[in-house]
């Protein structure tokens, strides 16, 4: 064959193990991670336990959350035969690269990160240095594998831009080393909003448990939460900027049924929100049922989960160690 096969694009993404994933995590991130496992991509998916340490964690809980996150990712379609799934702290090269990159990152750049500003305002009693250097570690996560594409939510876009700036700076200071990563931001359903305050992102740290659906919620809970979802008073199922609650429900329904907004508007034409909310809830219940079944099964098989993570860490380490050796040599660290 004369034609050369195009190089596979390498994809890297990470998610923090901060407890059971929400419907928002699934729709906005995890679902897409599964869908990206095609012939054209080489996927690396990481549980960012080191990033989770930037807010105070209960050790036993963090350990449990990490294994549960792995089980949920496997249940939601991450296939270890096609992707590398690993835990960030199991690949020490990330932190090794992070130090080198932090010396190519300016204090001013990090102080401009909006997430840092938001988080330090939210936890004024724990504005730790890790919270500040968090984006450098994230840059290391990405650059260490020469990732081409990084699926992230809008809230991580600034961090990705910083990673690009660091890569460019390093490449210019030394020699071409890092691939410039591109953000991969999905439009449809990228951001699922709170069911109670639909102008806020759905978050499990919300004090109102009715504002989010957890991946492990049972059918009754899911139905109850959708029935209580905040909408508006005009009673028309139509997507519009001034109808954030209804639009959010339509987005969820669209993701789980594959129907577009036009079809959804037609389907519920002349019906109140009651029937609509029940239909949305049912689509979520049906969509999550197989994942929940798998999750339960996989979580019981601790050896399987740990085996997948071990293999993922070994393979990722092989790639990551090579990059660290290359970088350490370039920056002038003595190698024996
Ligand atoms: N910071 C990301 C978040 O909280 C998680 C993350 C860590 C990540 N490292 C990454 C995402 C590398 C993409 C690429 O959502």
Ligand 1 atom closest to residue 159's alpha carbon, by position in its atom list: 1
- Return d(Cα 263, Cα 101) in angstroms, integer: 49
Block residue for tokens 């429900």? 249
- Return d(Cα 157, Cα 180) in angstroms, integer: 14
Domains of the chain (ranges plus CATH)?
Answer: 9-190+302-331 (3.40.50.620), 209-296 (1.10.240.10)
Query: Residue 154: its pLDDT value, please?
Result: 82
Specify the residue with its C-alpha closest to ligand 1, atom 15: 15
Specify the residue with its C-alpha closest to ligand 1, atom 10: 14
Q: Are 134 and 51 in contact (CB under 8 A)?
A: yes
- Return d(Cα 328, Cα 312) in angstroms, integer: 24
Q: Are 98 and 136 in contact (CB under 8 A)?
A: yes
- Return d(Cα 305, Cα 301) in angstroms, integer: 7
Q: Which residues line ligand 1 (CB under 6 A)?
A: 12-16, 48, 51, 138, 141-142, 150, 152, 156
Phi, psi (rounded to 5 degrees) for 14: -140, 155
Query: What angle do helix axes 302-330 and 59-75 make, rounded to 10 degrees?
Result: 100
Exposed (0-12), middle (13-18) or buried (19+): which is 21, by Cβ within 10 Å?
Answer: buried
For residue 28, report the distance from its CA to the centre of ligand 1, in Å. Answer: 13
For residue 139, report the distance from its CA to the centre of ligand 1, in Å. Answer: 9
pLDDT in tens, 199-216: 999 998 889 999 999 999
| DSSP secondary structure letter of residue 201 | B
Query: Residue 185: its pLDDT value, please?
Result: 83
Q: In Å, what is the CA distance from 245 to each residue of 72, 199, 215, 231, 267? A: 27, 8, 20, 5, 18
Specify the residue with its C-alpha closest to ligand 1, atom 6: 14
pLDDT in tens, 241-288: 999 999 999 999 999 999 999 999 999 999 989 999 999 999 999 999
Q: Is the pLDDT of residue 169 over 90?
A: yes
User: Within 13 Å, how many C-alpha atoms sit on residue 322's CB side?
Assistant: 9
pLDDT in tens, 310-328: 999 999 999 999 999 999 9
Query: Residue 38: its pLDDT value, please?
Result: 96
Ligand 1 pocket mutation, candidates 110, 135, 150, 156, criterion most atoms within 8 A of CB? 156
Q: Is the pLDDT of residue 188 over 70?
A: no
Query: Residue 49: its pLDDT value, please?
Result: 98
Q: Three-state SS for 258? A: coil
pLDDT in tens, 84-105: 999 999 999 999 999 999 999 9
Exposed (0-12), middle (13-18) or buried (19+): which is 114, by Cβ within 10 Å?
Answer: exposed
Q: Is the pLDDT of residue 3 over 70?
A: no
For residue 141, report the distance from its CA to the centre of ligand 1, in Å. Answer: 8
Could you tell me what percent of the chain has a pLDDT over 90?
91
For residue 46, report the distance from its CA to the centre of ligand 1, in Å. Answer: 8
Q: Three-state SS for 272? A: coil
**Any idea which residues carry the catalytic annotation?**
119, 201, 204
Specify the residue with its C-alpha closest to ligand 1, atom 13: 13
pLDDT in tens, 90-143: 999 999 999 999 999 999 999 999 999 999 998 899 999 999 999 999 999 999
């Amino acid at each position: 064959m004369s034609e050369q096969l195009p190089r596979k694009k390498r994809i890297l993404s990470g998610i923090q193990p901060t407890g059971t994933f929400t419907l928002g995590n699934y729709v906005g991130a995890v679902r897409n991670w599964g869908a990206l496992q095609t012939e054209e991509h080489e996927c690396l998916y990481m549980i960012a336990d080191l990033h989770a340490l930037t807010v105070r964690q209960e050790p036993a809980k963090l350990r449990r959350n990490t294994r549960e996150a792995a089980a949920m990712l496997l249940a939601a379609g991450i296939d270890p035969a096609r992707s590398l799934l690993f835990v960030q702290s199991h690949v020490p090269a990330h932190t090794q690269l992070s130090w080198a990159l932090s010396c190519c990152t300016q204090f001013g750049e990090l102080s401009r990160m909006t997430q840092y500003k938001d988080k330090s305002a939210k936890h004024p009693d724990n504005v730790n240095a890790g919270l500040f250097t968090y984006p450098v570690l994230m840059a290391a996560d990405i650059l260490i594998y020469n990732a081409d594409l990084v699926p992230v939510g809008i809230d991580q876009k600034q961090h990705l831009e910083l990673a690009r700036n660091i890569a460019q700076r390093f490449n210019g200071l030394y020699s071409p080393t890092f691939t410039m990563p591109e953000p991969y931001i999905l439009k449809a359903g990228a951001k699922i909003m709170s069911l109670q305050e639909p102008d806020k992102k759905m978050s499990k740290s919300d004090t109102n448990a009715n504002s989010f659906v957890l991946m492990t919620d049972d059918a009754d809970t899911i139905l109850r939460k959708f029935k209580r979802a905040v909408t508006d008073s005009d009673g028309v199922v139509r997507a519009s900027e001034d109808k954030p609650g209804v639009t959010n429900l339509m987005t969820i329904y669209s993701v789980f049924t594959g129907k577009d907004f036009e079809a959804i508007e037609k389907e519920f034409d002349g019906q109140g929100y009651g029937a609509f909310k029940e239909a949305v809830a049912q689509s979520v219940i049906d969509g999550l049922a197989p994942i929940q079944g798998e999750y339960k099964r996989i979580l019981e098989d601790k050896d399987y989960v740990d085996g997948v993570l071990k293999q993922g860490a070994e393979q990722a380490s092989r790639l990551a160690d090579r990059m660290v050796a290359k970088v350490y040599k370039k920056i002038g660290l003595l190698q024996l």
